[in-house]
Structure 1
Amino acid sequence: MIKVFFNSPDEAERFYTMLVLKQNRRNVELCIIDGNGVGVSASDFDAAARTLFIPALASYILKYNESRLMLSIIRDRFYFHEPEEQQQIIHIAEAIIEGERTEIPGAKQLPVRETPIYEALNDFIKPDLAFALSSFIKFRLHSYVERLYKYIELAIEEYKLEQEYQTFIHSLREYAMNRETKAEVIHIVHEQDLTVYNEHFSEISKEDLAGHIDRTFVHQHPMYIDASLLAPLVSIAPGRIHLYTDSPDYGMVQTIQNIFLERVSIYPRKMAGV
């Protein structure tokens, strides 16, 4: 019988339940040991370890220990101590892991994090072994933790960029809201590029747009502002923006919405008067 011990009876019960749900072999016996341990015995130990115990324990580590390991990396190796910051970074890291943030440079090149867990378990598990999961994680999963470190490192870079972006957007919003409006209505049509029109749907040339730019604000601003569209828009500070697009999630469309908020109305491209 192989025995694995957890930090609490609740954790042992959780792993026991995972084994029960994964079990499909009649010659495998499961039991709770001393409240916080789980025992597995089988006539064919190698098969049971390969098809049941190791996959279940790997899944348990990923599901119930990974977030705590990420938190310790964020806190102890990157020195982020604010709970809100920690959770935002973990949220980004989990999104990268789940393949939801493939637009982040380098996300697709990160190594598969599960592999070291399976390798360590395959090397470690043997008949009649008794061990504590916390010790196994601490002493046997260095490669896995280092891979998690790479995910966290990338998540922190993205978190800092997002914070800078939010600061950037806030400053542009404050500026546009406090600036005297130079046009009550602006129309913007999004095709391959974004083209700006006045209230009569006459196109405003790039030269005319550039003439509206508040150069002092642009030069003093800490981040790059798109000179062809964003800088003129915040300088004009229109009372209403009617934006026509078939891609409302497009980056610049989102940025315009975030700056001008309720001043922006979004319509399908076909509703443009051009």
Structure 2
Amino acid sequence: MELFSIAARTSDPQEEECYISIITKANQALHKKYKTLSISCSVHEGMTFWRCREDDPRFIKGNVLQQIYGTAAKALAEYILQEKERELAEKILNEEFDFPEPEEHEQILKHCRMILEKNPEFGASWNRRSAMLEQGIQQCLSERPLLHVDGFLTFRAQSYMKELKEIVEYAVDEFIMDRQYEEFVGMLKYFVYFQQPQVPLVHLIHKGGQDVLLLDENLKPLDYRYDEGVVVERLDQKDLQMEDAVVTTLISVSPAKIVIHTREPHMAVIRTLTQIFEDRVEICRYCPDCHGYFRETGKI
């Protein structure tokens, strides 16, 4: 009796090799637990057929069959996430959104790939999508032990495809926000380039997180200024309050030089100021002027 027959179309030799490798591991696990199974894998004109048989009808008693389907579903979910998902995301992007420029298209796909990869930042999403696929595949095999992977994704994986579409939408939003950010920073950079310096020096003490001090050349507090004819809008969601205030003030006073004292030079606000003020910015990791401030926070 055929326990399952699964067909998958692979797009290139690399994908075929990956799929067969995943199947082989699943077969080894099945054979280790159920030694009488007859399992085969064959390739014909780009189609890979994975079949599993057991001639003893007593074999399918209890939950054994569901355990076998679970192993097969787990392997197929891994294959889809590793090899099919990026292609599916690109198809959604092409069908649902209008980004005809190749460069824009590739940047959005880059955002997608970053989100789809199994990594600490997006691991929960990977696990959730894997669980959706495993559950759907096992349900299909339980109803009918003949499955075509592409057909399953088209007709039976609605929840998974819905989540994948949401990921593509998120990537599109990220791309648009990045583009708006770059355009706005470019505008501020242009404004600063033609603006005459009004003060010789400003010290920015970045004590950590959103804790920032602005000091003048005499290390006295610099007043925050908001109404100097320069309107600074939202640059980054995570650093909204600090970044708006700091950028607005620095553009208002237009220092000839900005010394940024920080232990976290890769923070968004630091990168933004470096982009806007360019060669006016000097990054300081340690000096007598900032020694006391960082000693207070335990960062020295």
Range of TM-score over shorter length: 0.7 to 0.9
Distance change in 2, residues 1:39/1:172 (3 Å): same
Q: Which runs of 5+ in 1 are unaligned?
A: none
Deviation at 1:5, TM superposition (A): 3.3
Residue 240 of structure 1, CA deviation:
2.2
Partner of 2:256: 239
Please give the TM-score of this superposition, normalised by the length of structure 1: 0.79
Q: 1:69 to 1:197 in 2, by over 3 A?
A: same
Provide the residue aligned with 1:174 in structure 2.
190
Q: Which secondary structure does the structure 2 equivalent of 1:238 belong to?
A: coil
Aligned equivalent of 2:20 = 16
Task: Name 2:166's counterpart in structure 1.
Answer: 150
Q: 1:128 and 1:15, CA in 2 relative to 1: closer, same or farther beyond 3 A?
A: farther
Aligned partner (choices 197, 200, 210) of residue 215 of structure 2: 197
RMSD, matched Cα: 3.3
Taking only the aligned residue pairs, the percentage that are identical comes to 21
Give the unaligned 5+ runs of structure 2: 236-242, 293-300
Deviation at 1:126, TM superposition (A): 5.3
Q: Residue 242 of structure 1: SS of its match in structure 2?
A: strand
Please state whether the residue corresponding to 2:155 is helix, strand or coil: helix
How far off is 1:270 after superposition?
6.4
More displaced, 58-67 or 33-42?
33-42
Q: Distance in 2 between matches of 1:256 and 1:14?
A: 45
2:112–2:171 contact (8 Å) kept in structure 1: yes
Cα distance between partner residues in 2 of 1:109 and 1:171: 36
1:241-265 Cα deviation digits (max 9, x unpaired): 1111233343322321221233322
- CA displacement at 1:101 relative to structure 2: 5.8
Do the aligned partners of residues 235 and 108 (structure 1) sit closer, same or farther apart at CA in structure 2, a change above 3 Å counting? Answer: farther
CA distance in 2, matches of 1:240, 1:140: 61
User: What residue is the counterpart of 1:141 in the other structure?
Assistant: 157
2:40 alignment counterpart: 30
Letter in 2 for 1:167: E
The 1-side partners of 2:50 and 2:217 are apart by 75
Q: Do 2:70 and 2:134's aligned partners in 1 also have CA atoms closer than 8 Å? A: no
Deviation at 1:234, TM superposition (A): 1.9
With over 3 angstroms needed to count, the CA separation of the structure-2 counterparts of 1:271 and 1:89, relative to structure 1, is: farther
Partners of 2:108 and 2:133 lie apart in 1 by: 23
